[in-house]
Structure 1
Amino acid sequence: MTSIPSSLPLRNDLIGEEPYGAPQLDVPVCLNVNENPYPLDDEVADTIARRVREVAQNLNRYPDREHIKLRQAFCDYLAYESGTRLGVEQLWGANGSNEIMLQIFQAFGGPGRTALGCDPTYSMYPEYARDTFTSWKVIHRKGDFTIDLDKTIEGITSIGPSIVLLTSPNNPTGTNLPLSDVKTLLAICEQTQVAGAQEGTHPVVIIDEAYVEFRNPGTPSAVSLIPEHHNLAVSRTMSKAFAFAGARVGYLAADAGIIDCLRIVRMPYHLSAITQAAALAAFEHTDLQLKRVAKLRETREETAAWLRSQQYHGSNLQVADSESNFLLFGKFDDRMLVFNKLLSRGILIRVVGPDHWLRVCMGTEREMSTFRTAFAEVLATIDKQQ
């Protein structure tokens, strides 16, 4: 909880608000913030140390504010990972995909503008909107957490948003967004007038692919559509698959025009020389960095099957289909009871998303074994109390 004196001139719309953030608790097993549970290999850490050492003697100078070398590394990685070759002018980096998203709202949102999403979705999106005085509207997803395409189209055409923000895989549900739906929405947006903007202004479509490396093999990335669509941008991060959450590196792939819009609102020298050096070091070991992605995907499928076999009040648990490194599962009469019983056993998961559901991210084999044992005990305890 915050303790802000009433004498401070906090913006009226921020009075009573709490800072965003998942609980940070010192417990044996943390499965609540969708981190990659495996630490960096020594080889990667050594390369990071070497590259940082190389730039350290020049820290009295500002870094390359256009981070050209890193943008080239993003290009090379997307060509390798998604089969699409883009130019340096079509990539942009920042301090995590959170900063990328904030820059998008700063550039395309603002007073009189609306951003449209499909809920349940990432809980930070409305905060980006709030912080940039952008209206935030949502279209509810279907019962299986796929988007309601018809209602989303209706929302776009009736509202005229400047930003259409979708996620694939979706957080907190893990739901994939089919490329056919993306193409349909792009076509609609290319014909839709942004409300309050000059004639001929159309919405930008943002696909948040923070967890895309965990998608099922053969599933295409929205990056492949960028050469054909000037109003499409795809946000990514190194936090998850690259086990780089502590480094804070996110990036955006888009038409050069969209990138130039972000360059207008970015802070000067926003990406430090140390951050750039660390990211370039990680890309030197791309295959090594991604080697555990398949293992985490396997862990997800095994855990989903196990959760679906568990009984709660005489019925099997529901688990949302996921192509991420986490699972949304339920439904619980009192999800806080389940959360707290797990926490008392040293297991931290996440209370997020729709009522009656909980989310767990994939950990190491030891962590997942501990989770399964504790969760089975919790379910047994609840049944006895009924």
Structure 2
Amino acid sequence: MSTLPVRPGLEGAAPYGAPELDVPVRLNVNENPYAPSPAVVDSIARAVAGAAGRLNRYPERDFPALRRALADYLAVESGVRLSPERVWAANGSNEVMLQVLQAFGGPGRACLSFTPTYSMYPEYARDTLTRYVTRARAEDFTLDIAAVREALEDVRPAVLILASPNNPTGTALPLEDVRAVLEIARGGGPLIRNGGSAGPSDAVVVVDEAYGEFRRPGVPSALELLIEDDGGRYPHLVVSRTMSKAFGMAGLRLGYLAASRELVGLLRVVRLPYHLSATTQAAALAALGHREELMSQVASLRSERDALVAWLRERGLTAYDSDSNFVLFGPFQDRRAIFEALLERGVLIRVVGPAGYLRVCVGTPDEMDAFRAALVDVLASRPDRPDGEEKEEST
């Protein structure tokens, strides 16, 4: 039997993946529960058919039409008008993050984040041979700015990733905190050689807004700080987004980011040639043409989410205010048993994050009714109290 030369660090590693189970109510991977309308499907089908007739040619490497459409969308959604040259896209926000770490991470460099947070971050770091370092968020899942300063001084990371709204907690970062982190990150990156001497660099701060469209009214996007960057204030800021969540296009695999022209230019260096297929570009452009219809679902999902938080609290549970399309709730003495009991009743949620807590994604009204009924039944059959001894699980 041969022995494969597996790269050090991958021995015994398991692939990422949430459970994929065929159950009536799937509320575990933060998908938009609403399928595209027939009008959206028809537009995508026609656009892809048109692209199919040119599949003998490579797609546009820098996809200018898609970048213009994404910039137009951000201007409507967040009130932030950026030039298309400051927008970049890839196959899901996973590839966007990977490209950032390919450009700025690597051997001898570190990526810093604050837990609990998204469990793919260490995998992005691992796959780019970047050291992954974490520090803890405060008990209410906010950032302690003094702790951020201390971590940057200690680690000097090339990249700092902050999810806002955070996964799995659903909490968004105040704009003042993001601005404070950006100021601390100036000169807080690794030492780089410039001529004959070595000096500090600015740590790249990635604000992951995968769930940004679900933020509550009055909660700003970090995109607003990129307007200040027009004067070169925050060239080390990246704000990432995705079409998977609010747009209901998880199967499309289209993630994107906004940043300075200089930073986007460096991502063009590390991207694979023709990384966005012609059919992906065509489908994304067609979907963006229906942005008003697709975004109209967001308001109803926000309403369902807020009602769910109130309902869980009425049951005596802790449910955190959420700016995403999911809610973290608990605590339970044995959350795995609660999860299994819900699954037996046809409801799939997620065991993630802080010990004792579960995460449920917001579904359709019928799906939420099914979740409530199942949880009431489970709690009636097995009352639970937290004991704080359970191990934290990945998000």
**2:251 corresponds to:** 246
**1:53 corresponds to:** 49
Paired letter, 1:59 = L
One of 278, 302, 306 as aligned partner of 2:307:
302
In 1, the alpha carbon distance for the partners of 2:284 and 2:365 equals 27
Shift of 1:136: 1.0
One of 5, 27, 33 as aligned partner of 2:29:
33
Shift of 1:195: 4.2
In 2, the alpha carbon distance for the partners of 1:328 and 1:199 equals 42
**1:234 corresponds to:** 239
3-state secondary structure, aligned to 1:165: strand
Mapping for residues 329-368 of structure 1, pairs under 5 Å: 329-368=329-368
**2:176 corresponds to:** 180
Mapping for residues 216-231 of structure 1, pairs under 5 Å: 216-227=216-227, 228=229, 229-231=234-236
In 2, the alpha carbon distance for the partners of 1:134 and 1:358 equals 30
In 2, the alpha carbon distance for the partners of 1:123 and 1:200 equals 29
In the superposition, relative to structure 1, how do residues 263 and 289 fare at CA in structure 2: closer, same or farther (>3 Å)?
Answer: same
Q: Contact (CA 8 Å) 2:93, 2:256: kept in 1 or not?
A: yes
**1:263 corresponds to:** 268
Shift of 1:12: 2.7
**1:322 corresponds to:** 322
Q: Contact (CA 8 Å) 1:307, 1:317: kept in 2 or not?
A: yes
In 2, the alpha carbon distance for the partners of 1:244 and 1:155 equals 36
Paired letter, 1:78 = L
In 2, the alpha carbon distance for the partners of 1:170 and 1:20 equals 19
3-state secondary structure, aligned to 2:383: helix
In 1, the alpha carbon distance for the partners of 2:189 and 2:241 equals 27
Q: Contact (CA 8 Å) 1:162, 1:195: kept in 2 or not?
A: no
Post-superposition CA distance 1:9-41 (Å, at most 9, x none): 222311111100100000000000000000101
Post-superposition CA distance 1:33-83 (Å, at most 9, x none): 000000101111111111111111101111001011000111111111111
Shift of 1:327: 0.4
3-state secondary structure, aligned to 1:290: helix
In 1, the alpha carbon distance for the partners of 2:101 and 2:189 equals 18
In 2, the alpha carbon distance for the partners of 1:330 and 1:113 equals 37
Mapping for residues 157-176 of structure 1, pairs under 5 Å: 157-176=153-172
3-state secondary structure, aligned to 1:117: strand
Q: Contact (CA 8 Å) 2:32, 2:245: kept in 1 or not?
A: yes
Shift of 1:84: 1.2
In structure 1, stretches of 5+ residues that fail to align are 311-315
In 1, the alpha carbon distance for the partners of 2:299 and 2:170 equals 16
> What CA RMSD, in Å, does the superposition of the two structures yield over aligned residues?
1.4
In 2, the alpha carbon distance for the partners of 1:330 and 1:384 equals 10
Question: Is 1:382 the counterpart of 2:369 in the alignment?
Answer: no
In 1, the alpha carbon distance for the partners of 2:240 and 2:2 equals 38
**1:313 corresponds to:** none
Count of aligned pairs between the two proteins:
376
In the superposition, relative to structure 1, how do residues 207 and 193 fare at CA in structure 2: closer, same or farther (>3 Å)?
Answer: closer
In 1, the alpha carbon distance for the partners of 2:178 and 2:2 equals 46
3-state secondary structure, aligned to 1:13: coil
**1:289 corresponds to:** 294
In 1, the alpha carbon distance for the partners of 2:242 and 2:93 equals 6
Q: Contact (CA 8 Å) 1:193, 1:199: kept in 2 or not?
A: no
Shift of 1:268: 0.7
Shift of 1:125: 0.1
In structure 2, stretches of 5+ residues that fail to align are 386-395
- Percentage identity across aligned positions? 55
In 2, the alpha carbon distance for the partners of 1:6 and 1:21 equals 28
Shift of 1:192: 2.3
